[in-house]
Structure 1
Amino acid sequence: MSTPAEASPEAGRPTAATAASPATPQPHVDPNPKRRGEQTALFLFIAVPFVALVAAVPMAWGRVLNWHDLVIAFVLYMISGLGITVGFHRFFTHGSFRANRPLTIALAVAGSLAVEGPVLRWVSDHRRHHAFSDREGDPHSPWRYGETVPALMKGLFYAHMGWLFDPENTNPQRYAPDLLRDRGVMFVSRAFGPLVIASMGLPALLGFLITGTWQGAATAFFWGSLVRVGLLHHVTWSINSICHAMGERPFKSRDRSGNVWWLALLSFGESWHNLHHADPTCARHGVLRGQIDSSARVIWFFEKFGWATNVRWPDTTRLAARRA
């Protein structure tokens, strides 16, 4: 777990060395393994909405879902999703690599298309999360109400999306002073509204251009805008909720972050969450055999093209020291 200063980027911008640090986090002691009732409740919370979404696809095919809807939704999911994982998270928040200026702005724009908030607020909230992970002060810990099944269900909902409606705001002067000093990034952050309109409107425009019909525009808007953004939101929020309530913990961390393998593809490798909290600035989260991390592969391509430098790839010594 890192303090805001440890999590701040070394990304071709001034670092957040001047950011105020909270009180030193104390080690978190893991509780006993969760009871069967907790596991059952978690399964229902996770599985039912996803099964409903999957079931809707064949039922809608040929009527309100066509090939161009899937292509548009897939491409924009990739762009906006990687904008969050590679851009907002690994680059802007944790400084896992340095980026040239065009890539810096492109990542800020791509992440904004996910409609998860301006880059300044997203980074500030996430740095605060790492400073107080699963303790008082964490903006979205699923354990905030206790460890009984009802408390966990309430906590999961809060960590998943309820925290977004909390009036408490993270202070960017404290957690993201480096972003505040970056004029280009701040311009993108302030342009969040127009970028949301573009993100939601582009699928409909593409659907109309491909089919020449208003129905094509409507179905593209439904799948490429509403479903795409909704799915991406829930995948992102699941890292906050599910990955702090269950999963394997092969590395030592001061919180309850776990690896949830079945979220890895949809989250572009973010659900290998235990290593991330054990070594927050590491550019690769899936470091063990068989752990697919597509975000790390994208960073690898950026490095090969010379757009990204000083990439913090896993170090065997650091990994060995963090093994549980």
Structure 2
Amino acid sequence: MLEIVTLYVIVVVPFLALAAVVPAVWGWGLSWLDVGLAIGFYFFTLLGVTVGYHRYFTHGSFRAKRPLRLGLAVAGSMAIQGPVVQWVADHRRHHAFSDRDGDPHSPWRYGTDLHSVLKGMFHAHLGWLFERRKTSMERYAPDLLKDSALVRTDRMFVVWAGISLFLPAVIGGLVTMSWAGALSAFFWAGLVRIAVLHHVTWSINSVCHVVGDRPFVSPGRDRATNFWPLAILSAGESWHNLHHADPTCARHGVLRGQIDISARVIWIFEKLGWAWNVKWPDPVRLAAKRRQPAAVGG
């Protein structure tokens, strides 16, 4: 119980702190323009990761036309979580060794007592990014390395990251015709937006392997869970249990009431003819992976 409460605190407190700050600074460095820019850039870059980096490039949940393919790589890069090829290689290695030796960011690497889990949570959330050992792109993402246009996009990561940080400031400055408007937009729609986005997506690595429901059976020692509080902010990525049970499925939130914004975006791409061969949930496959309730002794 203490473990669960602690984990909820880790996730919720930063958002409560942000919510407390907003009324205090409203009209003194925060405006509706800042809020609109922050939300717009947040979901644009988030979907670049969830739809692009994750469901498309890593798992091949659908096929995409060339402009969409490169556009998703750019949008994902603007989330400032690393170049696309390295990100994909890391995530494929994570699935290959989920919650076992070799997983780059398992929160269970140090043990199962509270102290060890919290130490592992920090590692899964952030610490693993500073490790010197990198995942081999040649081994885990050879298909992406064969795409010369994608490799060029990958190498321009610093450019996309700079655009992501400074474009809100440019827009804010032009709309308000002031340096104050530019600085405010840079802070809220640039720095704060990126910090929130990172916290949410890193929580999929940490929180969503420790606390939550497991309605589906995932392979091996995998402990991926569903954590509903992050469903909207993660665009459906926190329905993580189904994803690990059926990694190539384009929809992660497959049960009643599970909102999955990323799946809806893929559906729109399909309707527009930009995406095809979408791997939507298969009822028979889902039923086979559904966890059976424990038998009650008589």
TM-score by length of structure 2 reads 0.96
CA distance in 2, matches of 1:58, 1:197: 29
Equivalences for 1:1-324 in 2 at 5 Å?
Answer: 36-254=1-219, 255-324=222-291
Q: Distance in 1 between the 2:258 and 2:12 partners?
A: 22
After TM superposition, which residue ranges in structure 1, 4 or more long, deviate above 4 angstroms? Answer: none
Q: Deviations over 1:170-222 (max 9, x none)?
A: 00000000000001111110000111111111011001001011110000000
The equivalent of 1:6 in structure 2 is none
Provide the secondary structure at the position in 1 that maps to 2:111: coil
| Post-superposition offset of 1:58 | 1.2
Please tell me the residue identity of whatever aligns with 1:119: V
CA drift at 1:43: 2.4
Contact 1:145–1:155 (CA under 8 A) maintained in structure 2? yes
CA distance in 1, matches of 2:288, 2:231: 24
Residue type matched to 1:221 in 2?
F
User: Aligned Cα RMSD in Å?
Assistant: 0.7
Structure 1 counterpart of 2:52, one-letter code? G
**How many residues get paired?**
289
The offset of 1:46, in angstroms, is: 1.9
**% of aligned pairs identical?**
61
What are structure 2's unaligned runs of at least 5 residues? Answer: 292-298
CA distance in 2, matches of 1:44, 1:107: 33
Q: Deviations over 1:249-308 (max 9, x none)?
A: 000012110000110000000000000000000000000000000000000000000000
Larger relative contact order (Cα-Cα within 8 Å, sequence gap ≥ 6): 1
Q: Following the alignment from structure 2 to structure 1, what is the Cα–Cα distance between the partners of residues 163 and 7?
A: 36
SS at match of 2:72: helix
The 1-side partners of 2:19 and 2:144 are apart by: 39
**How many angstroms does 1:55 deviate by?**
1.0
User: How far has the Cα of 1:57 moved from its partner?
Assistant: 1.2
Q: Measure, in 2, the Cα distance between the counterparts of 1:78 and 1:44.
A: 24
